[in-house]
Amino acid sequence: MRLTGGLAVALVSAALFADTALAADIASFRSIGFSDDSGIYAFEEYGVEDGSGFSFSNIFFINTQNDSFLPGTPIRVRVEDEDSGLSKARAEAAKKAAPLVDKFDLNGRPGLLAAFNPLTETQSPAHHLTYLEYASEPAFGGEYVLTLQERNFPAAERCKEITPESPGFHLAFETEDGKPSNREVYADTKISDSRGCPTGYRLAGVVVDQQDGKPATHVVIVQVMSLGFEGHDGRWIAVPVHVAP
């Protein structure tokens, strides 16, 4: 069968799009939960690497009081067998993480995914997020409005041939519980090596945990994009923020 010009171009374009889609290395995100006192929060990022085709699963345990990782974490599993499938990496990471998940009973307190704004959400701004603290209809409580701004830092040595600068970010509230605010809640002072060679960020979501009579914990989820083997890689950062009760 001889293809006409229009059909041939369409099929080639579709094939190129499929190859590009398969090459994307944008990790998926799964919120795990909080400890009873909101002091610990955990989440998983997982996916398949571009280039190698190896599956991976990383599980992060964050001390929400001082924004640090628990000792011995993150748990990182990378299965160097492109035929093994994603389930093997995730099962191995879950097994290694189970003692901490059980110790802090993280499955018993999942928190509220109050907002989620991933890269695929094309109509939402990347650096601006508005949400409510409670899941209720009719709604109650005031809005929270978060903004993210990028700030450039000198690129790490490994990134200088690609870009002279690497962006970091800072987070601030414009509104807290319906009231005007200009509180900065996070600001990079340097670029962590774990981000690779970052190219930009997306304000991707918020997970909320409520404590009676105590400040709620809002964990801000930021999607970091970096230069990868066959395009951009996407990974996840969680930033704990405390708000007034």
179 and 229, same structural domain? yes
Residue 142 has pLDDT above 90, yes or no: yes
Strand 75-79 and strand 112-116: the pairing is unpaired
Domain co-membership, 227 together with 133: yes
- In this structure, are 62 and 138 located in the same domain? no
Q: Does residue 101 carry a pLDDT above 90?
A: yes
Q: Is residue 243 part of a domain?
A: yes
Query: pTM of the full predicted structure?
Result: 0.87
**Of residues 14 and 245, which shows the higher confidence score?**
245
**Distance, CA of 96 to CA of 98 (rounded, Å):** 6
pLDDT at 5 over 70: no
- Same domain assignment for residues 115 and 189: yes
Q: What percent of the chain has pLDDT over 70?
A: 89
Per-residue pLDDT for 231 more than 80? Answer: no
Q: Is 47 in the same domain as 102?
A: yes
Q: Which pLDDT tens digit goes with each residue over 148-178?
A: 999 999 988 888 888 888 999 999 999 999 9
Closest of 211, 218, 38 to residue 144, by C-alpha: 218
For residues 157 and 71, membership in a common domain is answered with no
